[in-house]
Homo-oligomer: A and B are copies of this chain.
């Protein structure tokens, strides 16, 4: 078995582990060093560092401290890596801990970050998913079981100082356009809860004050939440600092395109087995700005879909110009209304779209003024026939436990 170069203890705070960090900054020291060609294992906290429990109460989702997220394992230094190289990462496998065979999904309160459909689901809710080998199901959402397309929501290399400055500058500019917005437009650096790995004292404080938050995806990859960047895939990351500094976390047992529930996919703690190699000067050779990747040869084959269309006319009937975000929101809402006809509550349907291997396609982006997005719902994950028929829905899941909700305080 490959060596586990970063270990965690689920019973301890991630702040106690100096091979973990929760901000991006070039000064964070390498947690471990490896060589090109090596394969190794890294253990990861769930993205909240254990703030969410396996129970039927959503108060932990309501009260979560989002300034702490995401707890990442790393950075892993790769000998010989230099700015301009491509770091080739093979995700050889991802797994769960024997003592932690469950994951969570939730919607944040609109007061605390919200989600894609926060206007429709403004309060904190939570579903728990049990893992049964490669399958999962939830006691909060009846009638559905599926295999996990397991992947890291967040993975990437440390930014250079110049890149970090650019991130902070452009995000601050956006923030300043509407600083009081709820939920906020941007999460600015926040030193209090920053965990800078091995960095201590003044160096820690200086870095914490400007360390980029981990929420958005950026040029280096980061929190892309791409469900297809799963075990078996091969990723080419831009390198910005000496030794690259690869960090990873936010493991998902499964997720739908868009991760629309924000909290998020089926979130879990676990481990990831990776192999690294270098393409020297690869950024220039291939004109790479953002990471590129090849998907895994192994993925759940739920190939029979029911596909919902959405266009960029919002819920109020207002016309927007080629807005894919709104079009996808309509497709999601259409799917939720459809699922409600089979007895699901809106919250069950919403959570399902965030968790199952749902595809979201940008179908048309030029037919002014309407963008068209499609949501692909795999029918084989349901225990009953979901397709339309002459007689209307022939099955109802209603009556089972609904999705726990915690009212805003």
Q: Which residues of A are in contact with B by a Cβ distance under 8 Å?
A: 1-2, 39, 86, 88, 90-93, 98-99, 101, 113, 115-116, 132-135, 146-147, 166, 170-171, 173-174, 183-187, 215-219, 221, 223-228, 231-232, 236, 257-262, 264, 273, 275, 279-280, 282, 285-311, 313, 317-325, 328, 330-331, 334, 337-338, 340-341, 359-374, 380, 385, 387-390, 392-393
Given A258-B363, A363-B225, A286 and B388 touching (CB < 8 A)?
yes
Q: How far is the CB of A132 from chain B (nearest CB, A)?
A: 5
Contact A370 B217 (CB under 8 A): yes
**Additional A-B contact list (17), CB under 8 Å, known A285-B393, A292-B306:** A115-B366, A133-B273, A147-B298, A174-B320, A184-B368, A217-B370, A225-B364, A258-B365, A259-B365, A260-B365, A285-B341, A294-B305, A297-B300, A324-B362, A328-B362, A361-B361, A362-B373
Given B99, B290, B319, B367, which contacts A309 in the complex, CB threshold below 8 Å? Answer: B290
Contact A170 B92 (CB under 8 A): no
Contact B368 A290 (CB under 8 A): no
Contact A294 B364 (CB under 8 A): no
Please name all residues of chain B whose beta carbon is closer than 8 Å to the beta carbon of A320 when the two chains form the complex: 174
Contact A133 B290 (CB under 8 A): no
Nearest neighbor of A379 in chain B, beta-carbon distance: B294
Given A226-B309, A309-B221, A389-B279, A366 and B325 touching (CB < 8 A)?
no
Please name all residues of chain B whose beta carbon is closer than 8 Å to the beta carbon of A363 when the two chains form the complex: 224-228, 257-258, 360
Please name all residues of chain B whose beta carbon is closer than 8 Å to the beta carbon of A264 when the two chains form the complex: 366
Contact B364 A258 (CB under 8 A): yes
Given B225, B289, B301, which contacts A303 in the complex, CB threshold below 8 Å? Answer: B301
Given A170-B313, A301-B297, A224 and B321 touching (CB < 8 A)?
no
Q: How far is the CB of A155 from chain B (nearest CB, A)?
A: 12
Contact B186 A392 (CB under 8 A): no
Inter-chain CA distance A391–B225, complex, in Å, is: 30
Inter-chain CA distance A186–B380, complex, in Å, is: 40
Contact B275 A292 (CB under 8 A): no
Inter-chain CA distance A322–B268, complex, in Å, is: 25
Q: How far is the CB of A174 from chain B (nearest CB, A)?
A: 4
Number of copies: 4
Please name all residues of chain B whose beta carbon is closer than 8 Å to the beta carbon of A113 when the two chains form the complex: 368
Nearest neighbor of A373 in chain B, beta-carbon distance: B362
Q: List 23 A-B contacts (CB under 8 A).
A: A90-B135, A92-B134, A115-B366, A116-B365, A134-B232, A135-B232, A171-B369, A173-B318, A174-B321, A186-B368, A223-B364, A225-B372, A226-B307, A259-B364, A259-B366, A259-B367, A282-B392, A286-B338, A292-B309, A297-B301, A297-B302, A298-B299, A304-B304
Q: How far is the CB of A318 from chain B (nearest CB, A)?
A: 7
Given B99, B257, B319, which contacts A170 in the complex, CB threshold below 8 Å? Answer: B319
Q: How far is the CB of A73 from chain B (nearest CB, A)?
A: 17
Inter-chain CA distance A288–B370, complex, in Å, is: 19
Given A298-B299, A374-B226, A366 and B258 touching (CB < 8 A)?
yes
Please name all residues of chain B whose beta carbon is closer than 8 Å to the beta carbon of A257 when the two chains form the complex: 361-363
Nearest neighbor of A323 in chain B, beta-carbon distance: B325
Please name all residues of chain B whose beta carbon is closer than 8 Å to the beta carbon of A90 when the two chains form the complex: 135
Nearest neighbor of A287 in chain B, beta-carbon distance: B337
A221, A302, A392: which has the most chain B beta carbons within 10 Å? A392
Given A93-B134, A166-B317, A334-B289, A362 and B258 touching (CB < 8 A)?
yes
Contact A371 B325 (CB under 8 A): yes
Inter-chain CA distance A334–B279, complex, in Å, is: 18
Inter-chain CA distance A341–B363, complex, in Å, is: 27
A183, A309, A393: which has the most chain B beta carbons within 10 Å? A309
Inter-chain CA distance A115–B360, complex, in Å, is: 22
A146, A294, A388: which has the most chain B beta carbons within 10 Å? A388
